Structure 1
Amino acid sequence: MKPSRTLIVSAILAGLAGPALAHTGHDAGSGFAAGFAHPFGGLDHLLAMAAVGLWAMQQNSRRALILLPAAFVLPMALGFMLGLAGVALPAVETGIALSVLVLGLLVAFAVRLPLAAATAVTALFALFHGHAHGTELPQADLALTYAAGMVFATALLHAAGLMAAKLTQKIALPSLARAAGAACAVAGLVILVG
């Protein structure tokens, strides 16, 4: 993909970036359906979760295909429970914005870290995403069904990232995944400074 096309796609995606509905202060509803819908409500969550799938595919490792998405889903659930319990986590909004920026850069540059380091980076960012979801849940009575919906939707978003990366490999356009990572990074920067 030409650099000018990458820049145009990046600018368009960055222009779409805005505050996610997965942040504190919004009425989240309750139950499985609300939890399932919630990760789709904010561009920052969508981008981070898709980036994890793209990055996992770039690792060229079957273990990474399983471990990186799992390293997002499980710590996200832990972060959710911490937020629900009222346990403070510093700089949640900054952590979420940085997750979009950093994961986007990792995909854009097709960075291959040792699997343990990649898993740790993914898990750290997942805590912030989960915490944002947990702090905004207005009632705890349906927290488990809400969390189940959120975890299921997150797994689907990771799968979408994996499928997108696989498609770019099949049609011999790995630069398309890298361009998506660059666009994700630009959006993360916009979210971070916005």
Structure 2
Amino acid sequence: MTIRSTYALPAMLALLALVADPALAHSGDGYGGGFIAGFTHPILGWDHVAAMVAVGLWGAFLGAPAIWILPIVFPLVMAFGAVLGILGVPVPAVETGIALSAVVLGLMILFAVKPPIWVAAVIVGAFAIFHGYAHGTELPATVNAFAYAVGFVISTGLLHLIGIGFGLLVRWPGGRVAVRGAGGVISLAGVAFLTGMA
């Protein structure tokens, strides 16, 4: 099995999950409503999508072990941020933090910044708090909080996988340019979110 085929299947499954219509066998209260609400929440906000794809892209750009550490750190810390949001603990400038995550992560990719792994993990983790907090505060009152959290963590992981899949193009010279260009696009999107243009 080649490296390309190892990553192609998860990337294709993630893409299918994003474009497929959900089977709404369960709705409202309980596991189905909570899971579906949580799963769709990250993919319906372009600011979240941009940042989460950027985490996977940057991890792939940095290579091992960052390719797996960053996409693990983000959802773990994001879950902590969600708990803060559910509990109503005040976190300032959440929307600004979310927009800045796309700006900063996009710039890291564009300029091929390669910090030590712990620095990259701290950057990703800091932004994950804002994303998780937003998910937590927007938790619908009628859904199961645990199922909702499982849904948004899985959805986040799939977005990271899409970023990783695209980021693996860095192994080729033209692909490296494409990945860095994608970082620039993500950063510009973050500026648009920050200035209210998006």
Partner of 1:183: 185
Residues 107 and 177, structure 1, Cα contact 8 Å, conserved in 2:
yes
Conserved in 2, the CA contact under 8 Å of 1:39 and 1:153? yes
Instruction: State the TM-score, normalized to the length of structure 1.
Output: 0.81
Return closer, same or farther for 1:166/1:133 CA change in 2, 3 Å cut-off: same
Corresponding residue number in structure 2 for 1:57: 60
Q: 1:154 aligns with which of 150, 156, 159?
A: 156
Q: Partner residue of 2:9?
A: none
- 2:163 maps to amino acid: G
Contact conserved, 1:84 with 1:140, CA < 8 A, in 2? no
RMSD after superposition: 1.6
In structure 1, how many angstroms separate the alpha carbons of the residues matched to 2:97 and 2:138? 16
- The Cα offsets for residues 98-133 of structure 1, whole Å up to 9 and x where unpaired, read as 001000100111110110100000000000000001
Distance in 2 (CA, whole Å) between partners of 1:138 and 1:95 is 22
1:127 aligns with 2:129: yes
Distance in 2 (alpha carbons) for counterparts of 1:170 and 1:34: 38
Is 2:44 aligned against 1:41? yes
Identity of matched residues, %: 48
Query: Is 1:164 aligned with 2:166?
Result: yes
Maintained 8 Å contact 1:75/1:127: yes
Gapped regions of structure 2 (runs ≥ 5): 1-31
Could you tell me which of 96, 119, 133 is aligned with 1:117? 119
Amino acid at match of 1:73: P
- CA deviation after TM superposition for structure 1 residue 63, in Å: 1.4
**For the Cα contact (< 8 Å) 1:73–1:154, is it kept in 2?**
yes
CA separation in 1, counterparts of 2:131 and 2:56?
Answer: 16
CA distance in 1, matches of 2:45, 2:33: 17
Runs of 4+ in 1 over 2 A off after TM superposition: 167-172
Which amino acid counterpart does residue 152 of structure 2 have in structure 1?
Answer: M
* Mapped contact 1:92–1:131 kept (Cα < 8 A): yes
- Contact 2:61–2:168 under 8 Å retained in 1: no
User: Partner letter of residue 68 of structure 2?
Assistant: I
Q: Look up the match of 2:97.
A: 95
Question: For residues 66 and 168 of structure 1, what CA distance do their matches in structure 2 show?
Answer: 16
Structure 2 residue matching 1:173: 3-state secondary structure: helix
TM-score (norm 2): 0.79
How far residue 66 of structure 1 moved from its aligned partner, in angstroms, is 1.4
Which stretch shows the higher mean deviation, 164-173 or 29-38? 164-173
Unaligned 5+ runs, structure 1:
1-28
Instruction: Name the SS of the counterpart of 2:65 in structure 1.
Output: helix
The separation in 2 between residues aligned to 1:100 and 1:36, in whole angstroms, is 20
Number of residues paired by the alignment?
Answer: 165
SS at match of 1:47: helix
The aligned residue for residue 17 of structure 2 is none
